[in-house]
Structure 1
């Protein structure tokens, strides 16, 4: 006789807990012993000690055979099993003689009353389903509490599978019945969340019944429920996951796989070894998720004789790692099985109706062409929308990364500028001749080298240069050193005065003052390299007079080199063959600041006028002006942060590589005047759609050819069959058989009639 399933949740062990003998020990140890009356303490010899142990074991075994309590209206017969919260007993209803299973909750210290009440409530809701164990009675106010359910004598599916895998037809039948039970549960708003063979009981007809709804959740519940390893969907193995009907679909697919193969998917010695290394629940769950997602999908079911491709595809879809690719619910799973069964039963009819598809094909050809056109158009629109959504995410990622990078570099400058030794040294030596600024040079160079070492260790791009100016704009220190710029006056630069424009060196405003707060400069041409770059500058205040600026510390960077780091980041983020171009735009003058094309080779060939022409077109400017007025991420911003008709400013110089229409997404970089741009070529995005369109027409063409080939072959076969009898008659006439007697003629006619009857179904 088999056990009525207790049902436990993963990653729990299915082993039962042995009955506790604490009560027995407490009773025996409480017997009064008066040592003064005895005179001395008695010591047991080995024989008495063995006998005492034997009696204790017999007492414990006897207690294990005694039911925890009597249940009115039922006669308890024997124990069926024991689990985490109590035991299950076989009983007979005194009025009807019907056998039932009674579940007592005796382990009160470990009882989760919410869990137990949930199980009873779910069974009460689902009592009408033939595929779910029926609840007969509840004794919730008794001591100990219990509930009465149907007794299923054939044990669980897990016990049946211990004998080996099932035949495909049996497995399909079992899966359909389990799916019907799930459909009933899901239709009642209940998710099981812990499907496994041990929670599937078999009735007298070996039909499956779902049980153990202790981990079940209502559809609207947000609390997590753990399942059992190898039957649990990977996304369920997360303590923050929200219950989903697709969890049950995955578990159903895992059981289906187990029934065909003999073991659940992904179970291996490698995983068992990995699991033993984990010491916490979170560790085991994380190891399970990682193992399932990183290993190839199980495919042993495809090698099982009798498992056709359609059935294997149903199992594969049920076990899809991505929930979006899985069946949305048990009804969809059941529908696919029924579709498969219907298709298999109709195969002979398909052979008889060979002409009907041809007629339909000819009639539906115009509609099919139109359907392909609509499908291609719809796919193109959806693919474009999805690509733009991806580009927006990439642009936001790029803008936030650049923002963090700029702020981090500003913080490094501010820490150095606020360093007391720097303030005192600059105040003392800023206006001294070059020969007397040795201490200042050594101090600033050592501080810059510390920052460079940290950037190298973190794999970040280094600055082009650091430099320091006094209050008149004279560069008094630079690293790396340069005779071209050192001790030259750069008060006209935006990074010195922060007014948002570049002055002519000979026409400076009379009231020009150094910056008093951190400033991100406009693009300028380096005096030492001739390359275009920007500078981050901060003021240095006098240590003794905190409100007096005594110098400007700045660092210059090439934005093109800075973007290389984020280009690699985006390429890793979207390693799917998508080619994206990232760029930066200054929205003060809508000039292109950084672009993959803007390297030294190309920029050296441009005149200043050509460089200034690298700006956005009017449509993009209007779009971005509207975007800058809105809150990033708002619904209104989604109307302006992307476009399907972006024109790359570089296309005027390199039309072959950057010409044509682009999809583009924009994201303002906070704390700067920059806008991050992520673009991808429209033709590249739509290439899969065009390929699909070509393939659809190719398939349609070859489908028509194939259908007509089958029609022609069928007609040729019929024509040959119909022309066989006249040829036979001509052969008989040739040998002079037409002059036979009446009797012979009748015989021949009789034979001909038989031939006609035998050939009738073919000709007809």
Structure 2
């Protein structure tokens, strides 16, 4: 290590005075050879003694010791390094060289205190006293690393090292205070370091007994403000303040309040009283020292300890060194427990945080599986309903067709039709015959309507009859269409398309067999309609005499099954049924395609209610009317169906995601659709997920509360464990002994 400048290895008497601290002479340097504490030969010892005489005159010879060199000089004497001739052991000898009245009192006080405190390994040990020598002296152990002040000249110490030294100094103060001795002049120059850099305090020249009343002046910037008074009574809190200043110096590199400006201001004053008053005024008015707060690695507890030690009001200061030591011990216990606390709190929290992704993945997988199962089950139910709907619609159309076929094959009707169209009949007889046919058909229609009404089925929109040329000869309910040509209609010719009115080809002939025509729009409501028609043959079954038909709105085909399939929409998801044209994806019937909704629309706007894009491609891909490998139609379900009608008429077009199933309606080219709102159908999934999250949060919060509760009680147990207060124990023991003796 570098050879630090020695500030009087044993603490020279002069260093304790106020005057010498303000203007302090440099002390001598230690040789590298002495730092290594090697045994010297007699020639080397004589040479070293000669060199030291060149600097300082040897005060006196000490029998049995060889003076090596001077370590430093102060106002009241000098300190010399000496080597015992018999053992080669090095000691430091402090000579009181200046013969004053105070020499004896200082020597006597310091020797008495060192002799009283010899049992503490943290206080410099007394080796001998030369009362009768001229000048008098005392010997103490030599610590080769010098004083703490020399190390602090190079800069501040790390926080752990500063705390270590402060704790050891406090242990020495606790020992001294326990013997009733107050140091009264603690500073870096009075803290020595042994070969292991363990600190020991020295220089008890300014020390006082705890029951003494005489004042004691310490060193500026380490001295408590109330100590800087010639009438002050010694107090243990003086040493507490000095310890705080020492710790502050070790951390920040300088004593509190010590600045070149402050030193110059005090140095310019002449009398001691003026300097003391200026010092007290400086501490009272100056801002609170804060350099230690900027030290890297310092913690809040240590800052609070230093601040409390440096309180200007002694009532707010720690009461004694033991209280400061206990606070430092508690701080270390807290810091030592921090990894355990972190492990005990962060560990379980990390475990919980580690479990959260796993639990989240499990919940997501569970929810996903539940969603898939619920979707599959809902689509399966919808597919069954769609198949049922398609069958019912097909049966309804077939029933209508069968009734017409049965009526068209009656001989009476065919005979009347023949007579009307017989060229031998005159015109009046022909009109009379059509009147009979109208009455006959009206009667049959009324019977059918009554039967459907009894079955709570929708009635037909109309019945009609055309002759073989497409001229309408009867209609119920009556419209001004009697006598108009309807040969352009698909229900007349069965070509699968409708020609422009009045422009049907000349080759158009009436249908030859029962037929369900292509859908067409109602001129009155813009709703899609369908006609079920049958030919009326002559009695010889050689030519078609006319076309008998019945029309119905497509939404009427669904009316009878709408409520039965929808059921309780609040529970199963707002179900709807519809019909779609396989050829172009037009929506033919839908609960929202009512006359009130469609009547304001143009025919072109109605044509835009079409299933488009991906869903129409899927619909074609299903090949609903085909078989595949004799296993029936391909699965016809869509889990993300967008309803084109809902997109136009719904109050909330954004909520247009459905589960949908499709089924063909016989050979009509239509597809029956059963759909239910996806959000409502999968509501149990949302509820289950919310339930899992809520209970997961409850478990998480409960676990955290349990962890914190356990750690609360653990921390209480750890906090209640206090270090053993030996000084208090000794005081109580002494008090008990005195009580026993007095009794």
TM-score by length of 1: 0.46
Structure number with greater Rg is 2
